[in-house]
A and B are shown apart, each in its own frame.
Chain A
């Protein structure tokens, strides 16, 4: 199965600042997905990051607020810009592991816990 790491694991930030979250995968993947999980809630997709093209954002999420980079097949970053307390969430990246017999299984990174004061 794909092994995914995220940095930072947690952070406390001041409103108005920006934070860039990194996601590293131990294998090459076409698609990477970024999700947000607000306190006590389920996961909501922010965007899909395909290497070599612009990320595709879900309704309610915009590139100016959540710019994404996807420079290669094993790495992606998500920036939370001009943060407000409402951005306090866990941010998770995910990939689909299409190697071996467990095709289509999606694996998640450990998440980045963000608290905005």
Chain B
């Protein structure tokens, strides 16, 4: 069963604005990973954050993790039209085990 719940389900913003997506999960985790998917294609790995980390950055991406609230957020700064995609969070309980995906957020960036 799906563990993660993304919020919002859909988000529409203007180019240049920041986009924030949230993810909540139910059980203890080893790590949480964020992915992007363009138009039903393969998943592109964005960032992994471990349970003992609170924040990670990668380019225009900023991910936070609050294990006490069992939640994570993905911030995309200065969004571009090319950021239009679905974004999924996925949790892993232990290494080398399958991921449990949230329902995803559909982001539309309008030029």
A residues within 8 Å of B by Cβ? 1, 30-31, 33, 35, 37, 41-45, 48, 90, 92, 94, 96, 98, 102-111, 113
Contact = CB atoms under 8 A, between A and B. Distances in A.
Given A92-B43, A103-B95, A104-B30, A42 B103 contact: yes
A44 B98 CA distance: 10
A42 B45 contact: no
A105 B48 CA distance: 7
Interface of B: 2, 30-31, 33, 35, 40-43, 45, 48, 50, 88, 90, 92, 95-104
Given A31-B97, A45-B98, 16 more contacts: A33-B99, A35-B101, A37-B40, A42-B2, A42-B101, A42-B102, A48-B97, A94-B99, A96-B95, A103-B95, A104-B48, A104-B95, A106-B92, A106-B99, A108-B42, A108-B45
Contacts of B88: 42-43
Contacts of B104: 42
Contacts of B103: 41-42
Contacts of A37: 40
28 contacts: A30-B96, A31-B96, A31-B97, A33-B99, A35-B98, A37-B40, A42-B102, A42-B103, A43-B99, A44-B2, A45-B99, A92-B42, A94-B98, A94-B99, A96-B96, A102-B48, A103-B95, A104-B31, A104-B96, A105-B33, A105-B45, A106-B33, A106-B45, A106-B92, A107-B45, A108-B45, A111-B40, A111-B42
B92 A104 contact: yes
Contact of A108 (B43, B48, B97): B43
Nearest to A48: B98
Contacts of B41: 110-111
Contact of B96 (A44, A92, A98, A108): A98
Contacts of A103: 95
A92 B88 CA distance: 15
Contacts of A45: 98-100
Contacts of A109: 42
A88 B2 CA distance: 20
Contacts of B97: 31, 48
